[in-house]
Amino acid sequence: MRARVRGRAGARAEVHVQAEVRVRRWEPPPAKRVLDLTLGSALLTLATPLLAAGAVALAARRPPGGVLAHSPRVGQDGHVFVLRSLRTRRLRLDLLSRLPYVVRGDLSLVGPEPLAPDDPRSGTDPAGTPASPGARHWRQELKPGLTGLAQIRSRSGMPWDEPALLDQHYAEHHGVRVDLAILASAVHAPLREATRGLARRGRARPGDTDRGKARLSDTDHRLSGYSTAEEVGSVGTD
């Protein structure tokens, strides 16, 4: 009887130890994943009515290939998944339609450009396996994103505009603060362009185009004190 009791007690103690080990092994998700999950879910909730309206408008036009575009992309650890997005660039609906992949974990809000498996920059072959055995490409270390450093710098006119170099720079220095700065810039630039466009339309009047062309004549670029009569006299003497 004592042996059985000891055996049962030992089994219970072992189960208790295993439970403690499981609890200790659990780790909270990284801050980047928390940002993707919370902000991505909020953006998806806000964008759902707009995405639904865009899908209905596209369905009414009956575009070839359907409302959604399907394309394989390489994710973290070389995982290949099919990316579906709306076939329109208006109001950036194509990017907003990818928010479910952020919530699910295939994409991140900020990261390198999602590449196709047959793209030589992805570091994988068309099947999704590493191109060189034993080598791990830096793109496989993190998830691709809806936007990234390369997309932001491409609009700024900076001389350093090589997308691969910018993506690699982000992979080496990424963090929550960097992600927030990139997201802020990604939102600010379209809003600024839209505001400027509305302001120009509000100030536009009939005949402004002709007057603008007149102001941009060659005389505007001549030195101060230049006289047209001198130019005419010099031509006449020749």
Euclidean distance between CA atoms 151 and 190, whole angstroms: 12
H or E, element range at 199? helix 176-203
Label residue 145 left, alpha or beta by phi (over 0 means left) and psi (-120 to 50 means alpha).
beta
Q: Output phi, psi for 121, to 5 deg.
A: -75, -15
What is the C-alpha separation between 114 and 108, in angstroms, rounded?
A: 10
Q: Which two tokens stand for residue 23?
A: 């609890």
Q: Per-residue pLDDT averaged across 199-205, rounded? A: 67
158 three-state secondary structure: coil
Q: Over range 203-219, report the average pLDDT.
A: 46
**Over pLDDT 90: what percentage of the chain?**
37
Q: Work out the mean pLDDT of the chain and round it to a whole number.
A: 75
Tell me how far apart the alpha carbons of residues 80 and 72 are, in angstroms, rounded to a whole number: 7
Six-digit token string for 197: 């466009």
Contact 233, 226 (CB under 8 A): no
What's the pTM?
A: 0.66
> Is residue 34 over pLDDT 90?
yes
pLDDT digits (tens, 9 = 90+) for 94-107: 999 999 999 999 99
Query: What are 98-149's pLDDT values in tens digits?
Result: 999 999 999 999 999 899 999 888 766 555 555 554 456 788 888 999 999 8
pLDDT of 72 strictly over 90: yes
Confidence category of residue 229, pLDDT binned at 50, 70, 90? very low
Q: What is the mean pLDDT of residues 182-203?
A: 74
- Assign 3-class secondary structure to 209-221: HHHHHHHCCHHHH
Task: Compute the distance between CA of residue 168 and CA of residue 163 in angstroms, rounded to an integer.
Answer: 9
Q: Quick count: other Cβ atoms within 10 Å of Cβ 237? A: 5
Helix (H) or strand (E) holding 225: none
- Are the C-beta atoms of 47 and 96 separated by less than 8 Å? yes
